[in-house]
Amino acid sequence: MMDIREILATLPHRFPIILVDRVLELEHGKRIVAIKNVTANEPVFSGHFPHYPVMPGVLILESMAQAAAILSIISAGYKGQSEGLYYFAGIDKARFKRPVIPGDQLRLEVDLDREMRGVGKFRARALVDGQLACEAELMCAYRAIVADTVAQPAVVATAGPAEVPGAAGGASGAT
């Protein structure tokens, strides 16, 4: 029903954090069924865990939240990513039932319980080969982007102690 090009046109996420590869079913205002193909070349697996790669639970939750966002964005008819963003606002009753490893295909099933004023409450499940891997209640909120409130990138100081005034041994001469 939606391929990766249509998903990328709907969500602002990009590699490596786009976690929905295909949408199989979408009932406007009701439910979505989507797929996340878990591959060994995803960057997270080099550290989680090198000897036995396991998809982190937070990424399973994020993949379900991205599916929920697609459902809400398409159902509400939001046009373009420049209008607003759909934020992950809450997680309740999250349970992990089996590990998800490279080669698995996550089937993401998300049902909309209710949505009011841009805040949606969802029941979500992630399955692998028909077995429940994760389930949770999710809350997501759509917020319009206002040009004056868009967060600017933080400036990160990279100076060492010798270059920071007032730091021990720094330019101020204080020691």
Task: Give strand pairing partners of 124.
Answer: 110, 136
Closest among 55, 48, 47 to 134, alpha carbons compared: 55
Cβ contacts of residue 143 below 8 Å, gap of 6+? 84, 85, 87, 118
Three-class secondary structure of residue 16 per DSSP: coil
**48: annotated active-site residue:** yes
Catalytic residue selected from 13, 28, 48, 51 = 48
- 165 burial (CB, 10 Å; 0-12 / 13-18 / 19+) is exposed
For residue 162, what is the DSSP state? G
CA distance 159 to 78: 44
**Which positions are catalytic?**
48
